[in-house]
Amino acid sequence: MIAVSYHDRVNVLQAMGLASAAPFDRSEWFTLLAEEGGLEPVIVSAQNSKQAAALPLMRARDALVPLANWYNFTWRALATPGADRESLLVAIAAKLKDQGDRLLLWPVPDEDLSATAIAAAFRSAGWAVIREPCDTNHILRIDGRSYEEYLAGRPGPLRTTLKRKAKKIAVTIADSFDPKAWRDYEAVYQSSWKPSEGKPAMLRRFAEQEGAAGRLRLGIARHDGRAVAAQFWTVEDGTAFIHKLAHTEGTEQLSAGTVLTAALFERVIDTDKVELVDFGTGDDPYKNLWMEETRPRYRLECLLPGRPANWLRLAKAGLRKLASGSRAG
């Protein structure tokens, strides 16, 4: 017997004992989204006597969407270890019919079959599902290499830059939260080409939590004592996540960001012994200097086919699929 229920508080996720594979799967992250991000959760859970699964959602106009924001690398269904994910997700999908006729879910990974499982569950429950790539995730698999072995495989111009510039830059890497280092990070970010930080209080609280857990890797690069580049990484369960990076405008000739990136790679490879480095979403060309593979992120649009409001969208999707098949032929 599977019981499906709705919740408007994220603490239910912690109580369910759901598995965490990344920073964005933990109940603490969803608490940050609600308390600092101002988002209103719609948590849909399915439970039997021993297992549980959940979709952390929220409402946006005429659809249910992920409980997430621009900081998220991924969003996926959550489940207890060893759960029968298929039956639990089908039960959730069936129940969601009384909450609306449209869901938009992104950025969903599929290297763990998350996108495949969600799409299959909603189709089994009578929804039409449109699955499309929506973003790119750049990664590096370490494959047992040392930092020096990894560096030897980087492009020649990058290695030359590091040899010429590294002596001019002083790098520090903090693995616990340091208010002064965080002020340096914020000052660099504000003086960079980046747009203003959307939720600075949320990001700081996340850094404080990661620092308390020993997962933080906050790198600051200085030239003549002044912070000129900063990067915010975390390390968890064999993976290093590159969250944020910036350098001050007008200091490009120092290549401080490049020197800092190299120092952080050396730290996570040789000291933290990670197996994977995850450069988040976005297909920025500079990521190819450091990373070796890409993975797609998917957008799933789940529509109830019997609702007239969805007919035009389904018709357009069908025509696009037909046109794509004709070109392939």
d(CA 291, CA 191): 27
Q: Would you say residue 220 has pLDDT above 70?
A: yes
Query: Which residues make Cβ contacts (< 8 Å) with residue 189, sequence separation at least 6?
Result: 197, 230, 244, 246
Confidence of residue 321 (pLDDT cuts 50, 70, 90): low
Taking 80 as the threshold, does the pLDDT of residue 323 lie above it?
no
User: In the structure, what pLDDT confidence band is assigned to residue 325 with cuts at 50, 70 and 90?
Assistant: low
Q: Report whether pLDDT(320) > 70.
A: no
**Please, are residues 191 and 227 in contact by the beta-carbon 8 Å criterion?**
no
Partnered with residue 41 across adjacent β-strands are 58
Q: Are 26 and 17 in contact (CB under 8 A)?
A: no
The pTM score is: 0.93
Say if residues 215 and 234 touch (Cβ distance below 8 Å).
Answer: yes
As a whole number, mean pLDDT of residues 213-230 equals 98
The mean pLDDT value for 205-231 works out to 98
Task: Kindly give, in sequence order, each residue whose CB lies less than 8 Å from that of residue 106, ignoring residues fewer than 6 positions away.
Answer: 66, 75, 134, 135, 297, 298, 299, 300
Calpha distance 174→261 (Å, rounded): 14
pLDDT tens figures, 147-182: 999 999 999 999 999 999 999 999 999 999 999 999
Confidence of residue 324 (pLDDT cuts 50, 70, 90): low
Residues recorded for the chain: 329
Enumerate the H helices of the chain as residue ranges: 11-16, 27-35, 85-95, 114-124, 147-152, 156-165, 179-190, 200-212, 256-266, 311-328
User: In the structure, what pLDDT confidence band is assigned to residue 64 with cuts at 50, 70 and 90?
Assistant: very high
Q: Give the SS3 label for residue 143.
A: coil
pLDDT at 327 exceeding the cut of 70: no
Contact 304, 97 (CB under 8 A): yes
pLDDT of 204 above 70: yes
Q: Could you tell me if 83 and 121 are in contact, meaning their C-beta atoms sit under 8 angstroms apart? A: no
Cα 94–Cα 95–Cα 97 angle in degrees, nearest 5 = 75
Amino acid at 12: V
Q: Of 3.90.550.10, 3.40.630.30, 3.40.50.300, 3.90.480.20, which CATH number belongs to 143-274?
A: 3.40.630.30
- Examine the pLDDT at 230 and tell me if it is beyond 70: yes
How crowded is the C-beta side of 220, counted as CA atoms within 13 Å?
22
User: How far apart, in whole angstroms, are the C-alpha atoms of residue 122 and residue 44?
Assistant: 14
pLDDT tens digit string along 252-268?
999 999 999 999 999 99
